[in-house]
Amino acid sequence: MSLPIKFRPILLIFIFIFGTVAIALTSGVLAYQASLIPGSRLINPDDLVKILRSPNSTKPLMIQVGSHVLYTQAHIPGSEYIGPASSESGLQLLRKRVEPLPRNKLIVIYCGCCPWSHCPNVKPADDALKTMGFTNVKVLYISNNFGADWVEKGFPVAKGD
């Protein structure tokens, strides 16, 4: 059974409008997902710096899950670049990197591409690690961006790959 020809344009308009609204809503949800990470899984820059500077503390595996451009411009010394965790390829690289590690290994993930409430990368990375059974994951809370919340505060920085 097919629709009469006079209803087809109306159906196409409805599908277009509904599809556009669905895409907009999905994009909005993805853009604000970092705010859904529980506070117990966050670490502030000051606290991470204390761990990194302490001679007695076990150093975490630090993984930057944002853009490569951001990583080459400035990153936390000793951190590794994996790729944007908002993409399936970035998540696959993350899973591959951590697969052989003990599930209680301290892992710190961070991005810093944009204000926290707009970051599309940290939540998918955190979810992937949680799903894999990692119990000691911290997400570096960068409220504005890596430049303002890390570099401009005089915390240690490395550049390049």
Give the CATH number for residue 98.
3.40.250.10
In a domain, 28, yes or no: no
What pTM, to 2 d.p., does this model score? Answer: 0.80
- The pLDDT assigned to 22 comes to 41
- Residue 5 counted as domain residue: no
Residue 137 lies in a domain: yes
Cβ neighbours, 10 Å, residue 86: 22
Q: Is residue 10 part of a domain?
A: no
pLDDT band at 4 (very low <50, low <70, confident <90, very high): low
Residue 55 inside a domain? The answer is yes
Are 65 and 95 in contact by the 8 Å Cβ rule? The answer is no
How much is the pLDDT for 3?
A: 52
Is 81 within a domain? Answer: yes
Domains identified in the chain, total number = 1
Does residue 4 lie within any of the structural domains?
A: no
**Pairwise CA distance, residues 66 & 119, whole Å:** 9
> What is the SS3 assignment for 66?
coil
Would the pLDDT of 106 be above 80? yes
Query: Which domain, by its residues, includes 48?
Result: 34-153
Mean pLDDT calculated for residue range 16-38: 55
